[in-house]
């Protein structure tokens, strides 16, 4: 039986009190509880404080480019769909620089679990505004306050066809572990947006801010009802943060709809050597 220790790499360099610690611990716990090992998961990391988890978690992994963790994961999954594939990135990385990939991965229902650290600032570059920041938020890049309204990750995911959309709070690790396990077991594109205070650069969206404004979705909430889900996503604009599975739907994943990899993965396929038929196009 594996333990969290098997997944534990280097000592993290995150700031004391940062929400990343809880998210990192929750990811490792969820993987252990699902019986996975560092050899049968693939983690694709973005660039940022969250991406730095690459050195702190043991697994097959890619620490790629800012904004591009998702397409790397898509390619990996197409080549070897037997590996559990996970994206770990931050809000600026995933919703800003890589926003286009997010929209299209959701509509493709790629079997990838995206765990997004949403702290509403750029931590690693010392505190500029992120696309999820509240309108008016003052930062190094927006001294007069950001003009845009916040990007709505959950609403976008639901609208674009993601089949598992959830929100968690880094201050409640046990709840986060449960949601991550559900997301990792879901077949198709899952988004877990984790609200995470940045203790160094964000003095507004603090632990107490989220404790006051977040709430767990009640047991009677029907996550399969897309209209209800869309209503929930709009609460962002009232600074209310529902926690739990916002939306869930069973649909075939992208790789399941490619007939040439129905039986074996691309990696394990038998090499075809009869291309003579192709030549008929050229005579």
Partner 1 sequence: MEQFLWKIGGEAGFGILTTGTMFSKIVSRLGYYIFDYIQYPSLIRGGHNTYDVGFSDAPVHDLKANIDMLVCLNKETFDNHKERLRSDSFVIYDSKEFIPDGPYINIEVPFNEILTKLKGQVIMKNTIALGASLALLGADLAILNDLLKSQFKKKGEDVVRFNQQFAQAGYDHILKQHKAHIKSILLRRDNPKQLVITGNETFALASSIADCCLYVAYPMTPASSVLSVLANWQMQTGMVVRHAEDEIAVINTAIGGSLAGVRSAVGTSGGGFALMVESISFAGIAEIPLVIFLSQRPGPATGMPTWTEQGDLLFAVHAGHGEFPKIVLAPGSIDEMFKLTLKAYDLADIYQTPVIVLSDMLLSESHRSLSKDLVETQIKEYKPNRGKLIEKPDKEPYLRYKMTEDGVSARLIPGFEGSYYQSNSYEHLEDGHTTEESIERINQVDKRSQKIQTYFESHFVGPTIIGDIEKAEVIFVTWGSTKGATLRAQQELDKKGKNTAQLHFTHVFPLSEKIVAPYLTKKKRYILVENNSHGQFGKLLRQEIGVSIMEKVLRYDGRPITSEEIVQSVFT
Q: Which stretch binds partner 1 (CB under 8 A): 18-26, 58-66, 123-131, 175-183?
A: 58-66
User: How far apart are CB 64 and partner 1 at their closest, in Å?
Assistant: 5
3-state secondary structure at position 263: coil
Residue 252: both structure tokens together: 């075939």
Nearest CB to partner 1, comparing residues 70 and 176:
70
Q: Tell me the window of 127-135, 223-231, 243-251, 264-272 that interacts with partner 1 (CB under 8 A).
A: 264-272
Task: Name 34's Cβ contacts closer than 8 Å, sequence gap at least 6.
Answer: 181, 184, 185
Q: How far is the CB of 249 from partner 1 (least distance, A)?
A: 22
Grouping H, G, I as helix, E, B as strand and the rest as coil, residue 24 is helix
Interface with partner 1 by CB under 8 A: which range of 80-88, 130-138, 163-171, 173-181? 80-88
> 93 or 182, CB closer to partner 1?
93
| Spatial distance between the Cα atoms of 16 and 36, rounded to a whole number of angstroms | 29
Of 2, 149, 234, 267, which one interacts with partner 1 (CB under 8 A)? 267
Residue 73 found at the interface with partner 1 (CB under 8 A): yes
- Helix or strand or coil: residue 63? strand
In sequence order, the 6+-apart residues with CB closer than 8 A to the CB of 112 are: 70, 73, 74, 77, 85, 86, 87, 105, 189, 190
Q: Which is nearer to partner 1, 47 or 158 (CB)?
A: 47
Closest CB 218 distance from partner 1, rounded Å: 37
**Of 44, 167, 190, 202, which one interacts with partner 1 (CB under 8 A)?**
44
Joined together, the tokens standing for residue 38 give 């560092």
d(C-alpha 133, C-alpha 268), whole Å: 45
CA 283, CA 268: separation in Å to the nearest integer? 33
Please give the structure tokens belonging to residue 242: 């529902």
Residue 164's nearest CA partner among 139, 136, 184 is 184
Binder among 8, 9, 124, 235 for partner 1 (CB under 8 A): 9
Q: Does 273 bind partner 1 (CB under 8 A)?
A: yes
In whole angstroms, what is the distance from residue 45 CA to residue 88 CA?
A: 5
Query: Which residues lie near partner 1 (CB under 8 A)?
Result: 9-10, 37-40, 42, 44, 47, 52, 54-55, 58-65, 67-68, 70-80, 82-83, 100-101, 103-104, 258-261, 266-267, 269, 271-279, 281-283
């Amino acid at each position: 039986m594996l333990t969290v220790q098997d997944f534990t790499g280097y000592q993290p360099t995150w700031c004391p009190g940062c929400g990343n610690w809880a998210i990192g611990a929750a990811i490792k716990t969820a993987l252990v509880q699902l019986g996975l090992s560092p050899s049968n998961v693939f983690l694709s990391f973005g660039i940022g404080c969250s991406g730095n988890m690459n050195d702190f978690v043991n697994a097959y992994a890619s620490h790629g480019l800012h904004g591009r963790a998702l397409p790397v994961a898509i390619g990996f999954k197409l080549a070897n769909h037997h590996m559990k594939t996970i994206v770990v990135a931050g809000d600026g990385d995933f919703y800003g620089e890589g926003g286009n990939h997010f929209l299209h991965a959701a509509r493709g229902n790629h079997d990838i679990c995206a765990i997004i650290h949403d702290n509403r600032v750029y931590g690693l570059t010392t505190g500029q505004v992120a696309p999820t920041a509240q309108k008016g938020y003052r930062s190094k890049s927006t001294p007069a306050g950001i003009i845009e309204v916040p990007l709505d990750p959950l609403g976008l995911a639901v609208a674009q066809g993601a089949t598992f959309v959830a929100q968690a709070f880094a201050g409640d690790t046990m709840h986060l572990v449960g949601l991550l396990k559900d997301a990792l077991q879901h077949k198709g594109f899952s988004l877990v947006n984790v609200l995470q205070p940045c203790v160094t650069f964000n003095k507004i969206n603090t632990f107490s801010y989220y404790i006051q404004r977040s709430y767990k979705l009640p047991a009677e909430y029907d996550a399969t009802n897309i209209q209800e889900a869309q209503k929930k996503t709009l609460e962002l604009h009232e600074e209310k943060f529902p926690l739990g599975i916002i939306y869930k739907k069973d649909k075939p994943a992208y790789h399941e709809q490619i007939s040439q990899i129905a039986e074996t993965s691309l990696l394990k396929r038998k090499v075809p050597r009869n291309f003579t038929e192709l030549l008929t196009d050229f005579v």
